[in-house]
Amino acid sequence: MARWVNVGRADEIGPGQKKIFEVDGVMVVVVNLRGEYFCVEDVCTHDGGPLGEGELDDGQLVCPRHGARFDVRTGDALTLPAFEPVATYQVKVQDGDLLIESY
């Protein structure tokens, strides 16, 4: 059964910013995209690189190793060398706290 994990205050991630968290042993990247929060696993599906260390470019995380791009809203791989999507997690803000859904 899913549960919600509090990772901190939502206002700690400004628009256009990202932050890496560990949720139940899984590293994730939370992105604030124009006031909306999205969360993906912090791993490039091409070679296991850390997506959170890459740039955020108009709603896309760019892997710092080989440049694969992932849509933070859907997890879809948008460019080669990655072709598999990255795992996504539900995010909600409750009383100013940022909550990530965990299983």
pLDDT digits (tens, 9 = 90+) for 14-65: 999 999 999 999 999 999 999 999 999 999 999 898 999 999 998 999 999 9
Residues 6+ apart with CB under 8 A from 32: 10, 13, 14, 15, 16, 17, 18
- How far apart (Å, rounded) are the C-alpha atoms in residues 55 and 88? 18
- How far apart (Å, rounded) are the C-alpha atoms in residues 23 and 3? 11
pLDDT attached to residue 1: 72
pTM confidence score: 0.94
Q: How many CA atoms lie within 13 A of 87 on its CB side?
A: 12
